[in-house]
Amino acid sequence: VLACVKEAEAAILKEEQTKAYLPIPGHPTYGEEIRHLLLGESGEAVATMQTPGGTGALRVVADFLAEFRPGSAMWMPNPTWPNHPQVFSRTGLTCESYPYLDESQTQLDRQGFLDALAALPPEQFVLLHGCCHNPSGVDLTEEDWVAAAELLARGRHLPVVDIAYQGYGQGIEEDAAGIRILAEKVEELFVCNSFSKIFSLYRERVGGLTFMAKDPSVVETVTSRLKRCVRTHYSNPPAHGGAVVTKILSTPALRADWLEDLSAMRDRIRAARVSLTQALRKSTGTDRFDILAQHQGMFSLMGLSQDQVEQLREEHAIYLVSN
Ligand code: PMP
């Protein structure tokens, strides 16, 4: 548990006056803090719902889209977090995939990715990972984001960005670059964010669903539909985790402590990547695994076959996930 979390919790315990329900969209200050982290000082019309984790946000947006356009497809990268297809298909949306990695499974297939976006039928729902792609660790550069955003805008597609690791890649601001590029170029945008990892608040279920539109009246209409989805799922969000995050983000000293902890977590992941890469260089005599040091966030694909993973397991007691 981060020290800033303990401190915020102690203050909340002392100050808390009520256990009344939160409003359906959650605490308004929490929403403002999320919008600020994701979009900076954007002038667009935006609304945020406080959700039980990033998964809650994904489920609410899935529900909304399935009701709004039943039977539609959600396009997601191949590979993606295994829960993505499960969440979206449960609501009746169909799951389609677009290419993301090249043959090595360790790098972006830039052309394949952009060609697939260019070839989509108009007005599709498209899921993108904001940063620290799970499971590959392969992220888009700013140039890739600009190219993707232009194609999404041209096809009048609706991007849904999932961001669960903001700050684990390059930094809080840097990791939001893709979202901000999209926000500038497309008419409407959903972002599902999770604070589970970056505040180490996993079990408190802290996340958010943010909707941005160039037309403020659309934000109002969509918010009212989202509220109906929430009302029939969990009625209103759990308060504690959101209160902790709000306390930290809105108290300058706690915010500074958190940013320091976040940098420490990011540096530790980087250091582990670099030392693993160096060790693999030494023991294999090749630079084949150098790519691990370039990947972002908690996950990487190494381009190993299932047989190789099994061999590592059986013969060397080195345990990797088989996919
Ligand atoms: N999206 C991605 C890509 C994730 O990796 C995760 C967590 N593993 C989530 C969303 C959901 O996080 P939460 O625990 O906040 O629901």
Ligand 1 center from residue 168 Cα (angstroms): 13
Average pLDDT over the chain, rounded to whole?
A: 96
Q: Which atom of ligand 1 is nearest to the CA of 55?
A: 16
* pLDDT exceeds 90 at position 44: no
Instruction: Give the active site residue among 81, 109, 145, 258.
Output: 81
pLDDT at 133: 98
Reported as a pLDDT band with limits 50, 70 and 90, residue 166 is very high
- Residue range 246-290, pLDDT digits in tens: 999 999 999 999 999 999 999 999 999 999 999 999 999 999 999
Instruction: Give the active site residue among 139, 162, 257, 261.
Output: 162
Reported as a pLDDT band with limits 50, 70 and 90, residue 211 is very high
pLDDT at 145: 98
Q: Which atom of ligand 1 is nearest to the CA of 196?
A: 15
* pLDDT exceeds 70 at position 299: yes
160 lines ligand 1 (CB under 6 A): no
Reported as a pLDDT band with limits 50, 70 and 90, residue 78 is very high
The reply to whether the predicted model has a pTM over 0.85 is yes
Give the range among 34-43, 142-151, 157-166 with minimum mean pLDDT.
34-43
Active site residue 214: no
* pLDDT exceeds 90 at position 45: no
53 lines ligand 1 (CB under 6 A): yes
pLDDT at 173: 97
Averaged pLDDT for residues 76-80: 98
Q: Which atom of ligand 1 is nearest to the CA of 129?
A: 3
Ligand 1 center from residue 83 Cα (angstroms): 8
Q: Which atom of ligand 1 is nearest to the CA of 57?
A: 16
162 lines ligand 1 (CB under 6 A): yes
Ligand 1, residues 58, 100, 160, 196: which to mutate, most atoms within 8 A of Cβ? 196
Averaged pLDDT for residues 216-226: 96
Ligand 1 center from residue 62 Cα (angstroms): 15
* pLDDT exceeds 90 at position 321: no
Q: Which residue has the higher pLDDT, 102 or 43?
A: 102
* pLDDT exceeds 80 at position 42: no
pLDDT at 267: 97
Active site residue 197: yes
pLDDT at 69: 94
Going by alpha carbons, the residue nearest to atom 2 of ligand 1 is 164
Ligand 1 center from residue 195 Cα (angstroms): 9
3-state secondary structure the chain: CCHHHHHHHHHHHHHCCCCCCCCCCCCHHHHHHHHHHHHCCCCCEEEEEEECHHHHHHHHHHHHHHHHCCCCEEEEEECCCCHHHHHHHHCCCEEEEEECECCCCCCECHHHHHHHHHCCCCCCEEEEECCCCCCCCCCCCHHHHHHHHHHHHHCCCEEEEEECCCCCCCCHHHHCHHHHHHHHHCCEEEEEEECCCCCCCHHHCCEEEEEEECCHHHHHHHHHHHHHHHHHHCCCCCCHHHHHHHHHHHCHHHHHHHHHHHHHHHHHHHHHHHHHHHHHHHHHCCCCCCHHHHCCCCCCCCCCCHHHHHHHHHHHCCCCCCC
* pLDDT exceeds 80 at position 43: no
- Residue range 170-197, pLDDT digits in tens: 999 999 999 999 999 999 999 999 999 9
